[in-house]
């Protein structure tokens, strides 16, 4: 749903920068400015959350939770000097990671760190909300297949892939959001691509067997 | 400096400055394995371009929109309440200041109300009561009701607070100095017929 179609957002709002829209919403309670901000970013934010969680209901909840925090905390914690979307993505990322960690919290096994993939046991565990176990969105085949593979990546690699892909976020910003160094962020992206390559190859092998 | 393999990512995603990029391309020419890895990573990264954005459901978007509207209304309400409270506080403060000024004005020693009592240190009223003001303490007035015994001696020492003994003594001595000797016995007799006053301060 694009709000500007149903709510008739003036054209000049579409030309404004995020910062100007945020200012209008904060200082003048301009609802149209907020709707325009949502129009611009809602799909990317939702895609990021959904790709991390792989469950529609939970993604809906986390999306709403994210925007509730955005609305209520914008006056107190958002500094207009910074990028608004980076601030929102940090909130979305934290809410998503909180959810994923809650799901894994009750697993009573010893963590083992694997130097090869730079992941521990928890990262290699599939999420409870993994595709196939829960209801999935109706997506095009390519997106659905890619998301399935991305869902099997360790959490931190998945995060870097999604932030980079959906937001074209510089690795410096990804490093800031995920509280790691830029080299770690680059390393995670590299391992993510290597792991995805393996998954694509395995899938290809399976398909060739059935043919 | 990051590992050379990690720098492949920076190269693929155009996050190198021109000088760094040039240096990395020189290394690629020298190292064939690095070039193969770079191309593999680039192909995999290219596959991710097939990912499409997923729109959130309409009811979720509407819910967020309603939340934003209700928060704005709450903020507006809170703002008007804040204005009301501020006005009430200012009014209350003004009333308190005005009251304090009036009270202070009334308590001032030189004010009109206190003049009438402040100037009279001691006087014998027509009813026989002595009104005295403690020496040096403006406004602290103590009423003394003396009594006269059968020997026509006036008593007042038990009729005032112990704290004001000194002031009454001074008043008494001051009055004593004003007494003049009576030369004419006739006048004395005349006075004795009316009232016989002697001071007593035991």
> How many domains does chain A divide into?
1
pLDDT value, residue A204: 82
Mean pLDDT across chain B? 72
> Does the distance separating the beta carbons of B52 and A147 come in below 8 Å?
no
> Does the distance separating the beta carbons of A194 and B65 come in below 8 Å?
no
> Does the distance separating the beta carbons of B51 and A146 come in below 8 Å?
yes
Structural domain containing residue A165: 3-210
> Does the distance separating the beta carbons of A187 and B13 come in below 8 Å?
no
Asked whether the predicted pLDDT for residue B130 surpasses 70, the reply is no
pLDDT value, residue A125: 54
Residue A211 to residue B180: CA distance in whole angstroms: 146
Residue pointed to by tokens 């959350």: A49
Q: In which order are the strands placed within the sheet that holds B141-144?
A: B122-124, B130-133, B141-144
Q: Which residue has the higher pLDDT, B130 or A28?
A: A28
**What is the reported pTM?**
0.58
For residue A198, the chain B residue with the least C-alpha distance is B44
Q: Which residue has the higher pLDDT, A193 or B170?
A: A193
Give the confidence band of A192 by pLDDT, cuts at 50, 70, 90. very high
The set of residues, in sequence order, having a beta carbon less than 8 Å from that of B85 and lying 6+ positions away, is none
Would you say A26 and A45 are in contact if contact means Cβ atoms under 8 Å apart? no
> Does the distance separating the beta carbons of A63 and B64 come in below 8 Å?
yes
Best B11, B53, B72, B79 residue to mutate vs chain A (most A CBs within 10 Å): B53
3-state secondary structure A31-85: HHHHHHHHHHHHHHHHHHHHHHHCCHHHHHHHHHHHHHHHHHHHHHHCCCCCCHH
pLDDT value, residue A105: 64
pLDDT value, residue B106: 77
For residue A43, the chain B residue with the least C-alpha distance is B55
Residue whose C-alpha is closest to residue B54's, from A125, A146, A127: A146
- Chain B residues in contact with A164 by the CB 8 A cut-off are 13
pLDDT value, residue B159: 61
CATH at residue A54? 1.10.1740.10
| Count of A-B CB contacts under 8 Å | 122
pLDDT value, residue B157: 62
Tens-digit pLDDT profile for residues A33-70: 888 988 889 999 999 999 888 889 999 999 999 999 98
Domain boundaries, chain B: 4-50, 55-107, 121-200
pLDDT value, residue B141: 53
Q: Which residue has the higher pLDDT, B48 or A6?
A: B48
Q: Which residue has the higher pLDDT, B138 or A172?
A: A172
Asked whether the predicted pLDDT for residue B118 surpasses 50, the reply is no
Asked whether the predicted pLDDT for residue B127 surpasses 60, the reply is no
Tens-digit pLDDT profile for residues B137-194: 444 555 666 777 777 777 766 666 666 667 777 877 888 888 877 776 665 555 555 5
> Does the distance separating the beta carbons of B2 and A190 come in below 8 Å?
no
Tens-digit pLDDT profile for residues B80-115: 666 677 888 888 888 888 888 888 877 766 554 444
Tens-digit pLDDT profile for residues A5-14: 445 777 788 8
- The three-state secondary structure class of A111 is coil
Interface of B with A (CB under 8 A): 2-3, 5-10, 13, 15, 40-41, 43-45, 47-48, 50-58, 60-61, 63-65, 67-69, 71-72, 75-76
Is ipTM over 0.85?
no
Asked whether the predicted pLDDT for residue A165 surpasses 90, the reply is no
Compare CB distances from B68 to A31, A139, A161 and report the shortest one's residue. A31
Question: What Å distances lie between residue B155 and A3, B120, B130, B135, B175, CA to CA?
Answer: 100, 21, 12, 21, 15
Q: What is the DSSP letter of B129?
A: P
Compare CB distances from A47 to B47, B53, B71 and report the shortest one's residue. B53
Give the confidence band of A78 by pLDDT, cuts at 50, 70, 90. confident
């Amino acid at each position: 749903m694009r709000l500007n179609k149903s709510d008739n957002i003036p054209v000049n709002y579409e030309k404004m920068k995020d910062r100007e829209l945020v200012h209008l919403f904060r200082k003048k309670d301009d609802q149209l400015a907020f709707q325009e901000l949502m129009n611009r970013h809602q799909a990317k934010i939702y895609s990021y959350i959904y790709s991390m969680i792989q469950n529609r209901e939970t993604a809906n909840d986390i999306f709403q939770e994210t925007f509730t925090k955005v609305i209520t905390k914008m006056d107190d914690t958002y500094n207009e000097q910074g990028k608004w979307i980076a601030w929102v993505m940090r909130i979305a990322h934290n809410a998503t990671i909180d959810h994923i960690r809650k799901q894994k919290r009750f697993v009573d096994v010893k963590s083992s760190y694997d130097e090869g993939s730079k992941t521990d046991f928890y990262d290699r565990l599939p999420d409870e909300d993994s595709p196939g176990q829960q209801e999935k969105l109706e997506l095009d085949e390519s997106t659905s297949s890619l998301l399935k593979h991305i869902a099997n990546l360790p959490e931190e690699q998945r995060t870097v892939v999604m932030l980079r892909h959906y937001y074209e976020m510089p690795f410096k910003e990804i490093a800031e959001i995920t509280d790691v160094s830029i080299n770690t962020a680059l390393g995670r992206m590299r391992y993510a691509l290597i792991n995805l390559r393996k998954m694509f190859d395995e899938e290809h092998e399976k398909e060739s067997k059935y043919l | 400096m990051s590992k050379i393999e990690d720098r492949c990512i920076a190269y693929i995603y155009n996050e190198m400055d021109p000088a760094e990029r040039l240096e990395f391309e020189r290394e690629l020419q020298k190292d064939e394995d690095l070039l193969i890895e770079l191309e593999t990573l680039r192909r995999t990264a290219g596959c991710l371009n097939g990912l499409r954005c997923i729109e959130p459901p309409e009811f979720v978007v509407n819910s967020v929109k309603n939340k934003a509207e209700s928060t704005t209304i709450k903020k507006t309400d809170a703002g008007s309440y804040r204005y009301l409270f501020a006005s009430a506080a200012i009014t209350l403060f003004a009333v308190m200041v005005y009251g304090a000024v009036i009270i202070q004005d009334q308590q001032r020693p030189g004010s009109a109300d206190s003049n009438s009592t402040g100037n009279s240190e001691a006087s014998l009223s027509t009813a026989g009561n002595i009104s005295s003001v403690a020496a040096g303490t403006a406004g602290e007035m103590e009423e003394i009701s003396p009594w006269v015994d059968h020997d026509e001696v006036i008593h007042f020492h038990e009729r005032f607070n112990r704290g004001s003994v000194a002031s009454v003594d001074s008043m008494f001595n001051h009055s004593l100095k004003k007494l003049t000797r009576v030369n004419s016995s006739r006048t004395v007799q005349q006075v004795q017929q009316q009232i016989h006053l002697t001071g007593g301060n035991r």
